[in-house]
């Protein structure tokens, strides 16, 4: 297992990049990822997740910067020399071998004793639910079963620097997906491997990872725990992309401790003297918005109520913009609900997409940008 340092990384597939737009990974990637943690790289299609993963695995040499595993510079080393295990989106199995032989392969390759190999193969087979299939040939198994073998093979060695997963559950059926995700988490807790998991699915990322690395347009817009991403999205994209539904983002002006939305005042509970004037938005998650039939708050019209089981998602229209509200299960919603209130604790102020510190937080030295 290793700590992974991404030092001043950037990548351009075109070579000789002339401007920032020519980079598929922008020159802002500078992180230390802790030994033994589980990281998820999360973001929409084309944001650079696989590019970053391939740089870490050694399949791609970055145009700029260095990668270190612990204190060793591995930038020029092959994947094999980096000692990483990889699981790809589609199964990679040896069809002529049995399930047992497939799982044992990485261990036998490195001279593991028969007793150790047997113990390890059986542990992993149980984890992927294939104990009863160990003697079957991989040929003829479903894509789903083959991918489980690939996952098992990726996790069978205990001595790897890191295990890298690139959308590994794409071909797995939905029920098994849930089970494997939970198993992966348990396995991580048990063995403490450094794991990096690429996905565009927030549920997968949030269940699996200790830390989620949210990417957009070749940049890491936030690296944080699931709770941090929920409570303090550093970019409007993070607020919007994570959550169900995501954060409401509304254009506003801010004066001291008050935001103004289309002439309506919204108390912020703390002052933002440095919010600036252009590109200002406020973000508030639906969990911090409540419906009201009083005179305070923003005037809205309820457009739809969705019962999603644990609570209700209420869609409202404020001056042509949809604002989502989460209401308790069983709440009775009617036309008399014609206002919404924001809990000041859940309101964030953004400038050009990036979070602005309140005066109090700025005085404490908070914020990263
Ligand atoms: N070999 C390549 N040559 C040129 N451009 C590439 C190459 N591979 C990827 N790209 C481009 O780099 C950008 C990032 O791609 P990447 O595959 O890393 O994104 P991703 O977030 O993993 O997307 P997806 O979820 O669709 O796989 C995209 O614009 C993509 O078109």
pLDDT at 366 over 70: no
* Domain assignments of the chain as residue spans, ordered by start: 4-231, 245-363
pLDDT computed for residue 369 by the predictor: 47
Residue 331 sits at the vertex; the CA angle it makes with 330 and 332, to the nearest 5 degrees, is: 110
Residue 108: pLDDT band with limits 50, 70, 90: very high
pLDDT > 90 fraction of the chain, expressed in percent and rounded: 78
Say if ligand 1 is within 6 A of residue 43 CB. yes
Residue 283: pLDDT over 50: yes
What is the model's pLDDT at position 68?
97
Q: What is the pLDDT of residue 1?
A: 73
Instruction: Indicate if the alpha-carbon torsion angle 204, 207, 212, 214 is positive or negative.
Output: positive
CATH superfamily of 4-231: P-loop containing nucleotide triphosphate hydrolases (3.40.50.300)
pLDDT over 60 at 247, yes or no = yes
Measure 173 CA to ligand 1 centroid, in angstroms: 26
| CA end-to-end span of the chain | 31
Which of 23, 46, 200 has most ligand 1 atoms within 8 Å of CB, for mutation? 46
Residue 174 has a CB neighbour count (10 Å cut-off) of 7
**What does the alpha-carbon distance between residue 138 and residue 351 come to, in Å, rounded to a whole number?**
54
User: How confident is the model at residue 368, as a pLDDT?
Assistant: 45
Q: Is 63 helix (H, G, I), strand (E, B) or coil?
A: coil
pLDDT tens column, 23-34: 999 998 999 999
Mean pLDDT of 297-310: 95
User: Residue holding tokens 């204190």?
Assistant: 71
Which protein residue has the closest C-alpha to ligand 1 atom 26? 45
Strand order, beta sheet including 253-255: 253-255, 258-261, 264-267
Please say if the pLDDT value at position 367 is more than 70: no
Please give the ipTM for the structure prediction.
0.98
Torsion of CA 176, 205, 163, 99, to 10 degrees: 10
* Ligand 1 centroid – CA 48 distance (Å): 6
In this predicted model, what pLDDT tens digit does every residue of 1-51 receive, in sequence order?
Answer: 789 999 999 999 988 888 999 999 999 899 999 999 999 999 999 999 999
Computed over every residue of the chain, the mean pLDDT equals 92
Digit-coded pLDDT (tens) for 144-186: 899 999 999 999 998 899 999 999 988 888 888 888 888 788 8
Is the shortest distance between the CB of 46 and ligand 1 below 6 Å?
Answer: yes
Q: Is the domain defined by 245-363 classed in CATH 3.40.1260.10?
A: no
So what's the pLDDT on residue 184?
A: 83
Sorted by sequence, the CB contacts under 8 Å of residue 113 that are 6+ apart come out as none
Q: Residue 345 has what DSSP assignment?
A: G
């Amino acid at each position: 297992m290793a700590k992974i340092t991404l030092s001043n990384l950037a990548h351009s597939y075109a070579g000789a990049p002339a401007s920032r737009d020519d980079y598929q990974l922008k020159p802002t990637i500078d992180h230390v990822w802790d030994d033994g943690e589980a990281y998820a790289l999360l973001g929409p299609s084309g944001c650079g997740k696989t590019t970053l993963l391939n740089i870490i695995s050694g399949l791609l040499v970055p145009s700029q910067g260095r990668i270190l595993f612990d204190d060793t510079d591995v930038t020029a080393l092959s994947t094999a020399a980096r000692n990483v295990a990889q699981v790809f989106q589609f199964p990679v199995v040896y069809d002529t071998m049995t399930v047992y032989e497939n799982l044992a392969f990485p261990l036998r390759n490195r001279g593991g004793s028969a007793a150790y190999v047997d113990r390890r193969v059986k542990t992993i087979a149980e984890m992927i639910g294939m104990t009863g299939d160990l003697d079957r040939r991989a040929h003829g198994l479903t894509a789903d079963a083959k991918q489980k073998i690939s996952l098992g093979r990726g996790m069978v060695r205990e001595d790897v620097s890191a295990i890298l997963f690139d959308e590994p559950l794409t071909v797995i059926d939905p029920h098994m997906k849930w089970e494997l995700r939970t198993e992966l988490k348990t396995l991580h807790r048990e063995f403490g491997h450094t794991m990096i998991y690429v996905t565009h699915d927030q549920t997968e990322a949030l269940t699996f990872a200790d830390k989620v690395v949210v990417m957009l347009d070749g940049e890491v817009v936030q690296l944080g725990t699931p709770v941090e991403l929920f409570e303090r999205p550093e970019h409007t994209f993070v607020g919007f992309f994570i959550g169900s539904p995501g954060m409401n983002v509304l254009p506003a002006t801010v004066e001291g401790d008050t935001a103004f939305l289309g002439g309506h005042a919204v108390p912020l509970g703390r002052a933002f003297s440095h919010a600036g004037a252009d590109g200002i938005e406020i973000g508030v998650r639906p969990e911090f918005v409540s419906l009201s039939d009083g005179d305070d708050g923003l005037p809205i019209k309820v457009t739809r109520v969705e019962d999603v089981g644990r609570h209700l998602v209420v869609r409202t229209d404020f001056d042509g913009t949809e604002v989502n509200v989460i209401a308790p299960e069983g709440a009775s919603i009617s036309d008399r609900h014609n206002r919404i209130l924001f809990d000041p604790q859940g309101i964030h102020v953004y400038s050009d997409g990036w979070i602005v510190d309140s005066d109090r937080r700025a005085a404490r030295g908070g914020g990263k940008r």
